[in-house]
């Protein structure tokens, strides 16, 4: 098949939500329905809970939350679909706000998002934040109300909240039959807003296997479910009468969102989510180059890369320690254009250096398989590509460079040092690697020295991850010490000299060479800006 044909059957999406909305459970349920695994890893009750296959770090298993993004790839054949199956590239993202930067990077590498909402809690702060990121990037969203098997809110109330809070119009495709806590099945809503069929689900033990389905006509459903069916039909028709009908153009412009009710724990509504993604989520599309890189280039450079042109890809995450048997580093890359072939010679746009992609993998949790060829939309891991960092472009043939990824402004700062001076060599190696991955930002200055770098993070849990990975992967125990700063700003060499003389300010150099000024608090920053209007003091994040 041609590159364009292969790209057309790709669906690359991320699952986003507030912590504990069920992202990893849904990820596993989707894999179960694609027959990649035979039994889901999540079971009822915390004492008996297993970790999901997408959660590979020990801290994730211990805490029961996702703190690193994980990429899964599998084929899926929707009911009634003829021809080649779809290739699904699914990225499970961290839900905890301390890892917003990791999630932001993932959202730059996908074509759509599944926004998971807890049926009892509705929209939560992290969900709102992630929606705004999707909106800013024009990323289409499919909304899934999860945990409908538990007591929760009224469905129309949840729809109203989404409209009111984020201005996104949910358009029901599968409406729940039975109130929250009494999930019987789903009423299918057609393009005209008419309820045309009923899917009744049969529970399995602990939701570990695919739930059975029985399909009924509206008349059969009315006889079987009585008042519950009548209520579902009335609510679905009420929304349709109000204009809540699926429109592909509005969906792709992030103005409306197809709506599905589900229970990832019981595997209710899961394959309906997959079918919907295959049917309406956008396939990979061409990507524009970084305008600044084009302007600065001294040679001819593409301004956009067509899907069937020469190979190009974007690195969105670098991760080490995924497999203790292999002390290697994986650079997760989204294929943007052309065909990727293992072993091909490519160029690193940022440095201009050429290298061979001898080892390339598809990754399913900790399971790895060698990939020989990949197409636009695929996510693959390049092994030991140590020179690559999030946001980097690699390409073959004519030069192209895609826009860089922003770094979030850190708000938490701690000094990090090795407990034993005898471990300093391992300490430096670990620091270099984890800094390159973006686990935290590393700041240094002459006064503190290389043995006492400062970690800068969006949230304090990033410090826990840094210390845990240093101990587990590099056998280096560390200690941290808080420092009295809460605001970071970018500056330049001329301004740094004056800022360094101010009380409550300290100047550092970040690994990428940027000069960073740390301030005690926002009031101190405001005072210095007011008294020194000519100094360069800029926010760190760059959209």
Q: Looking at residues 113-133, what average pLDDT do you find?
A: 87
Task: Give 383's pLDDT tier (boundaries 50, 70, 90).
Answer: confident
Does residue 388 belong to any structural domain of this protein?
yes
Decide if pLDDT at 263 tops 80: yes
Residue 439 scores a pLDDT above 60: yes
Q: Assign 146 a pLDDT band (cuts: 50, 70, 90).
A: very high
Last residue of a domain, one of 280, 310, 331: 280
Q: Is 447 exposed, middle or buried (0-12, 13-18, 19+ CB in 10 A)?
A: exposed
Q: Total domain count for the chain?
A: 3
Secondary structure in 3-state letters for 317-358: EEEECCCCCCCCEEEEEEEEECCEECCCEEEECCCCCEEECC
| Same domain? 270 vs 297 | no
User: Does the residue 539 lie in any domain?
Assistant: no
Q: Where does the pLDDT of residue 106 fall: very low under 50, low under 70, confident under 90, or very high at 90 and above?
A: confident
105: confidence class by pLDDT, cuts 50, 70, 90: confident
- Give 408 or 543, the one with higher predicted confidence: 408
Please give the C-alpha separations between residue 23 and each of 31, 91, 145, 210, 479, in angstroms, as whole numbers. Answer: 13, 10, 12, 18, 32
Asked if residue 203 and residue 265 are part of one domain, the reply reads yes
Lowest mean pLDDT among 69-78, 89-98, 477-486: 89-98
User: Which of the listed residues 395, 426, 441 is the one where a domain comes to its end?
Assistant: 395
Q: In terms of pLDDT, which residue wins out, 27 or 496?
A: 496
Encode pLDDT of 218-252 as tens digits.
999 999 999 999 999 999 999 999 999 999 999 99
Beta strands 379-383; 329-337: pairing state: antiparallel
What's the CATH code of the domain at 121? 3.40.50.300
Is residue 226 domain-shared with residue 247, that is, in the same domain? yes
Distance separating alpha carbons of residues 511 and 318, to the nearest angstrom = 16
CATH code (residue 459): 3.30.70.3280
543 lies in some domain: no
Indicate whether 466 and 344 sit together in one domain: no
Does 222 share its domain with 291? no
What are the binding residues for GTP?
A: 92-96
Q: Are residues 379 and 420 in the same domain?
A: no
pLDDT of residue 208 exceeding 90, the answer is: no
Residue 152 and residue 54 share a domain: yes
Q: Judge whether residue 336 has pLDDT over 90.
A: yes
pLDDT digits (tens, 9 = 90+) for 512-522: 899 999 999 99
311 and 250 within one domain: no
Q: Are residues 462 and 485 in the same domain?
A: yes
Instruction: Print the domain residue range for 516.
Output: 412-531
Looking at residue 53, its pLDDT comes to 46
Q: Domain for residue 421, yes or no? A: yes
Q: Are residues 146 and 241 in the same domain?
A: yes
Indicate whether 24 belongs to any domain: yes
pLDDT tens track for 161-181: 999 999 999 999 999 999 999
In a domain, 403, yes or no: no
Q: Can you give the pLDDT at residue 25?
A: 87
Q: Answer yes or no: do 422 and 441 share one domain.
A: yes
As a whole-number percent, the residues of the chain with pLDDT over 90 amount to: 59
Expressed in percent and rounded to 5, the helix, strand and coil fractions of the chain are: 30, 30, 40
Residues at the binding site are 92-96
Q: Are residues 297 and 427 in the same domain?
A: no
Looking at 263, 280, 297, the residue that finishes a domain is: 280
H or E element that contains 448: none
Note the pLDDT of residue 503: 92
pLDDT score at 252? 94
pTM of the model: 0.80
Residue 323, domain CATH? 2.40.30.10
pLDDT for 309: 93
* pLDDT exceeds cutoff 50 at 465: yes
Contact assessment for residue 53 and residue 363, using Cβ atoms and an 8 Å cutoff: no
């Amino acid at each position: 098949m041609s590159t364009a044909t292969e790209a057309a059957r790709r669906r690359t999406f991320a699952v986003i939500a507030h912590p504990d909305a069920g992202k990893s459970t849904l990820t596993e349920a989707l894999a179960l329905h694609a027959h990649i695994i035979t039994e889901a890893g999540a079971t009822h009750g915390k004492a008996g809970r297993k970790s999901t296959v997408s959660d590979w770090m020990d801290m994730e298993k211990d805490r029961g939350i996702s703190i690193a993004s994980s990429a899964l790839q599998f084929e899926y054949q929707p009911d009634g679909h003829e021809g080649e199956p779809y290739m699904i590239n699914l990225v499970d993202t961290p839900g905890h706000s301390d890892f917003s930067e990791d999630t932001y990077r993932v959202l730059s590498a996908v074509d759509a998002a599944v926004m998971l909402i807890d049926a009892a809690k509705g929209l939560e702060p992290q969900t709102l934040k992630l929606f705004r990121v999707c909106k800013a990037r024009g990323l289409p969203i499919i909304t899934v109300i999860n945990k409908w098997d538990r007591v929760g809110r009224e469905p129309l109330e949840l729809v109203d909240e989404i409209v009111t809070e984020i201005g996104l119009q949910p358009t029901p495709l599968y409406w729940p039959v039975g109130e929250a806590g009494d999930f019987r099945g789903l009423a299918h809503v057609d393009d005209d807003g008419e309820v045309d069929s009923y899917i009744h689900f049969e529970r399995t033990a602990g939701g570990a296997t695919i739930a059975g389905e029985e399909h009924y006509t509206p008349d059969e459903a009315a006889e079987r479910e009585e008042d519950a069916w009548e209520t579902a039909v009335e609510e679905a028709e009420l929304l349709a009468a109000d204009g809540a009908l699926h429109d592909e153009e509005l969906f792709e412009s992030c103005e409306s969102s197809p709506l599905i009710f589900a229970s990832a724990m019981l595997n209710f509504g899961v394959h309906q989510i997959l079918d919907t993604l295959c049917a309406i989520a956008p396939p990979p599309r061409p990507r524009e180059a970084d305008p600044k890189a084009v302007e600065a280039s001294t040679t001819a450079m593409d301004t956009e890369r067509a899907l069937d042109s020469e190979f190009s890809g974007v690195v969105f995450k670098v991760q080490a320690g995924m497999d203790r048997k292999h002390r290697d580093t994986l650079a997760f890359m989204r294929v943007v254009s052309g065909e990727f072939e293992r072993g091909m010679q490519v160029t690193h746009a940022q440095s201009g250096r050429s290298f061979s992609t001898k080892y390339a993998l598809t990754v399913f949790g900790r399971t790895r398989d060698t990939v020989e060829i990949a197409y636009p939309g695929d996510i693959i891991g390049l092994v030991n590509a140590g020179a690559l960092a999030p946001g980097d472009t690699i390409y073959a043939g004519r030069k192209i460079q895609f826009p860089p990824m922003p770094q979030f402004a850190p708000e938490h700062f701690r000094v990090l040092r090795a407990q034993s001076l005898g471990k300093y060599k391992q300490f430096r190696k670990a620091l270099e690697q984890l800094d390159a991955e973006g686990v935290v930002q590393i700041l240094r200055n002459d006064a503190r020295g290389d043995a006492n770098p400062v970690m800068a993070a969006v949230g304090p849990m990033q410090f826990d991850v840094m210390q845990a990975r240093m101990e587990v992967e590099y056998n280096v125990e560390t200690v941290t010490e808080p420092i009295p700063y809460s605001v970071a700003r970018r500056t330049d060499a001329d301004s740094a000299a004056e800022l360094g003389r101010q009380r409550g300010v300290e100047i550092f150099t970040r690994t990428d060479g940027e000069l960073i000024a740390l301030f005690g608090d926002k009031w101190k920053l405001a005072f210095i800006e007011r008294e020194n209007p000519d100094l360069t003091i800029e926010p760190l994040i760059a959209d």
